Amino acid sequence: MDFELNEEQLMVRDTIRKFAETELEPKAAELDKTREFPWDTVRKLGELGFLGAPVPEEYGGGGMDSISYLIIGMEIARCDASHATIIGAHCSLAVLSILQYGTEEQKHKYLPKMCSGEWLGAFSLTEPNAGSDASNLETVAVKDGEYYVINGHKQWCTNGAEASVIVLFANTNPEAGLRGITPFIIEKDMEGFSVGNIEDTMGIRGSHQTELNFENCRVHESQILGGEGNIGKGFKIAMIILDNGRIGMAGASIGIAQAALEAAVKYANQREQFGQKIARFQAIQWMIADMATELEAAKQLAYYAAWLKGAGKKVTAEAAMAKMFASEVAGRVTDLALQIHGGYGYSREYPLERFVRDARIKRIYEGTNEIQRLVISRDILRRYS
Ligand code: CAA
């Protein structure tokens, strides 16, 4: 078993780390305050090839392996969790949906512009009454000649307000339940489509989660993701794509926890109380030991899930394990890092309170951790029965 990163992976890590430290970290606090969408840095990430990192070069992507892609997410989140959320929804969910399931024509039409950053992507499954129970969709797409007429409301769509291309799940045969769900590619200027409220969230405030409205939105049948063969197959497609997303979610959780650990170590080595650096107190040392150990374990789970994905193996349970564990580690590590900073950690002068807020969503979105436990237990019960 080889735990070393190869030359290419090291180069990717160094490049994205340098970019994130110089371009993302300095604007993270401001972004959290203003909520102004960071188009300039998102576009620069596109120019550097990081918006389509795992996409083959023939579609305009970076042709990078799954470990490199995980590293990119970790490094971005280490410097700004909002950017990691934007890039995750764009690449892990929207771009990879089109890459894995699109027709050749759809791949050539959408992927080059999505990889370059000209078009941002979003993935819209969730609705007011379909969160964890993701197949309970009320958004319907009714066939009318060569068109589908879509009606319904979506919620919590990351990049919904900014995306040019949205992978949408709607029910084309409500009587068939989850076997009636069909994936579509929606373009932002299609008539009958509009963006609703942007949620006023606790964290990841530089990314936007929005409502989407479909009112008699007429979509040509050529916009079915992957063509007619995918009618009714949308639920499985969404689940498989969310497996990708959950590895990325683990990576983003690790990035935030890494930033918190580094901040805590730096502070503990500077701050003096009772005549010595607080890093010399065992109370602090034990916290650092717990944080570092849990973070390392989360990294190993995430690397393993990414490796499985890269090897083309089924990754459902391992992606869920990595997402669940890493997001809970991010919660504990950011909390301890704030504790080590004492009152300063609670102040907005330091980034710790932002780390805590940014980490909190990781236990909720792309499947709550209760749903991850369900996914894992179903798999394990099958595996050992
Ligand atoms: N891979 C392949 N197939 C899968 C699968 C997977 N990961 N998960 C489920 N399936 C298949 C099942 O095998 C089954 O197929 P068959 O009937 O042919 O055997 C079918 O899909 C139905 O599966 P289940 O019976 O497991 O369905 P369920 O309704 O009981 O529950 C669930 C499934 C795991 C709870 C699922 O609904 C789920 O993951 N919920 C959470 C949804 C989620 O993560 N939402 C976040 C969306 S992200 C978003 O909105 C965008 C954003 O910007 C953040």
75, 256 in Cβ contact below 8 A? Answer: no
pLDDT digit string (tens) for 299-320?
999 999 999 999 999 999 999 9
Atom of ligand 1 lying closest to residue 155 CA: 50
Q: Which pLDDT score is estimated for 266?
A: 98
210-228 confidence digits (pLDDT tens): 999 999 999 999 999 999 9
What pLDDT score does 356 carry? Answer: 98
Instruction: Give 320 Cα–ligand 1 centroid separation in angstroms.
Output: 12
Q: What's the rounded Cα separation, in Å, for the pair 367 and 94?
A: 16
Q: pLDDT class for 128, splitting at 50, 70, 90?
A: very high
Nearest-atom number in ligand 1 for the CA of 158 is 53
Average pLDDT along the chain? 98
Q: What are 31-89's pLDDT values in tens digits?
A: 999 999 999 999 999 999 999 999 999 999 999 999 999 999 999 999 999 999 999 99
Q: What's the whole-model pTM score? A: 0.97
**Is residue 370 annotated as a catalytic residue, yes or no?**
no
pLDDT score of 225: 98
Would you give the DSSP letter of residue 139?
-
> Is residue 2 scored above 90 in pLDDT?
no
Residues within 6 Å of ligand 1 by CB:
89, 123, 125-126, 132, 134-135, 156-158, 178, 235-236, 239-240, 242-243, 316, 365-367, 371, 374-375
Q: Is 366 left (phi over 0), alpha (psi -120 to 50) or beta?
A: left
Buried b vs exposed e over 107-137: b needs ≥16 C-beta within 10 Å? bebbbbbbbbbebbbbbbbbbeebbeebbeb
